[in-house]
Amino acid sequence: MALKTISARGELNAGMAIVVECGNHRLTMDQPKNAAGQDLGPTPLEAILAAVAGCFGTIGRFIAHQQKIELRGMRFEIEADYDPAGLLGRDPEVRPGFQELRVNVEIDADLDRAGKQALLEQIEKRCPVADNLTHGTRLVSVLL
């Protein structure tokens, strides 16, 4: 199958808010007021957590449809740990990204615990957001 390319366009003006156009949608990310932002939207790190939930839910729905499982719903509790010293440039030895990301998932379907665990494992394996986070993706930044 051929590769598919998706794109987004973003802009940072005065302040900390970044407005990104993704397809027909606009996403505003910002920092909290105590971090020089206006709290107009989630932080970029919080947006990653939201993207994990969105991807798990979407892929869960795809798999359930393919396997003819009645998936009534899913709930997600997601946490991630990072050391601000890395992203603030205070310690060059500290990684700026997440040290660990934990996803707790509740699945509402007529499956026993083993069946739900197998479904969750398939979701994690097929979720492109999880794949990008766990396996990395080559990042190419170009100054225009």
Q: What is the pLDDT of residues 72-89, one digit of tens each?
A: 999 999 999 999 999 999
Does any domain span residue 1? no
The closest alpha carbon to 52, from 141, 140, 134, belongs to 134
Residue with tokens 């990653």: 48
Range of the domain at 81: 44-135
Residue 10: which H helix or E strand, with range? strand 8-12
CATH number, position 94: 3.30.300.20
- C-alpha 16/C-alpha 135 separation (Å) is 29
How far is it between the farthest Cα atoms of the chain? 54
Contact in structure between 73 and 91 (CB atoms under 8 Å): no
Mean pLDDT estimate for the chain? 96
Whether 108 maps to a domain, the answer reads: yes
Tokens linked to 113: 């615990």
pLDDT class for 19, splitting at 50, 70, 90? very high
| Overall number of domains in the chain | 1
Q: What is the pLDDT of residue 31?
A: 96
Model confidence at 136, pLDDT cuts 50, 70, 90, reads confident
User: Is residue 14 pLDDT above 90, yes or no?
Assistant: no
Asked, for residue 2, whether it belongs to a domain, the answer is: no
Angle at CA 11, nearest 5°, toward 23 and 78?
Answer: 65
Torsion angle in degrees (nearest 10) through CA of 45, 133, 65, 67? -150
Spatial strand order in the sheet of 18-22: 8-12, 18-22, 25-29
Residue 127 within a domain: yes
